Amino acid sequence: MSRVLVLGAGELGLPILRSLSHLASNSPTASRPAITLLVRPSTLSSPSPSKTQELTHLRDLGVSFLAADIAASDNATELASHFQRFNIIISCTGFAGGPGIQLKLARAVCAAGVAHYYPWQFGVDYDIIGPEAANGIFREQCEVRRLLRGQDKTKWTIVSTGMFTSFLFEAFFGVVEGLETAGSDGEVVVRALGSWGNKVTVTTPEDIGRVVSKLVLEDQRAGVVFTAGDTVSYGRLADLVETQIGKKVRRELWSLDFLRAELETDPENQIKKYRCLFAEGKGVSWDRASTVNEELNIKTTDVQGFLSSKASPRREQ
């Protein structure tokens, strides 16, 4: 029987837990996977109604809890003592824990002798991007890959998903602005990072959850795989936004030179690092036809579908 531990129940962790639970419920009772979520002790004892509701929802899905604090653990050995009772671990911790967390987790997983690890690599193609791109924004991610490839006891699967689809439309990212006020005659701006022909791959967390659960409980392949809800150029993105809102958008090009100059004035700004990285256009997009979701016949949400789900009202002409 598989004993699966999920680290983190945020934007990606929750969809993965839901998908794992759904897929596991179709298994015979005797071989049904056991799904556990690592939770901070303070979360388990929190009086917050929203936290209580979330934990109740997960219990109803058949998820158990392991009380531990990744950030507070002094070293990989301490974490390994928690991890060694599981044969599959999925990290959904993201970057919120700060620098060094992903390496600490990878070392702990290997020290515990976990059979199969799915690290937090749900993003771009770090092999192509490399450790020094955009002021080293993904140096630790590259180090995690080097560590996993340097050992042969723990099987690992890296799921490259591109950008979370919703992130592409966050106003603070700067690619699409004003979409939330498009129905009240507000101006909508779509910006290209680097060039209008540059492409970006995006996948929703819900779709990632379906893919990961299938890989974990059924497919079990190792190595680097790719998902894509969609791969679009910034020019195509502008066209899709115009179609959705029923009016023209203002198109603005942020050249790579402009974005690099912006980063030089604020070199520790993570969002400006991201913009430079995507403007360079390397390792941030791939053909949807070659993805594991296409191979496994898992339907995913494209950009047009995502925009439609936001139900932005069209402007009457």
pLDDT tens-place string over residues 78-98: 899 999 999 999 999 988 778
Determine the Cα–Cα distance for residues 45 and 47; give it in Å rounded to an integer: 6
213-230: per-residue pLDDT in tens? 999 999 999 999 999 999
DSSP secondary structure code for residue 32 in this structure: P
* 311 confidence band (pLDDT: 50, 70, 90): low
Percent of the chain with pLDDT over 70: 97
* 252 confidence band (pLDDT: 50, 70, 90): very high
Q: Give the mean pLDDT of 276-300.
A: 97
The model's pTM is: 0.94
101-131: per-residue pLDDT in tens? 999 999 999 999 999 999 999 999 999 999 9
Q: Give the mean pLDDT of 3-13.
A: 96
What's the confidence (pLDDT) of residue 312?
Answer: 46
Average pLDDT, the chain: 93
Q: Give the mean pLDDT of 270-299.
A: 96
Task: Considering only residues 311 and 256, tell me which one the structure prediction assigns the higher pLDDT.
Answer: 256
Q: Which helix (H) or strand (E) holds 198?
A: none
Cβ neighbours, 10 Å, residue 17 = 26
- pLDDT greater than 50 at residue 313: no
Determine the Cα–Cα distance for residues 106 and 109; give it in Å rounded to an integer: 5
What's the confidence (pLDDT) of residue 181?
Answer: 81
Query: What are the percentages of helix, strand and coil residues in the chain, rounded to 5?
Result: 45, 15, 40
Radius of gyration of the CA atoms of the chain, in A: 20
Distance, C-alpha 262 to centroid of its chain: 26
- pLDDT greater than 60 at residue 8: yes
Determine the Cα–Cα distance for residues 76 and 156; give it in Å rounded to an integer: 18
Residue 168, token pair as written in the block: 């592409």
What's the confidence (pLDDT) of residue 259?
Answer: 97
13-68: per-residue pLDDT in tens? 999 999 999 999 987 776 789 999 999 998 888 889 998 999 999 999 999 999 99
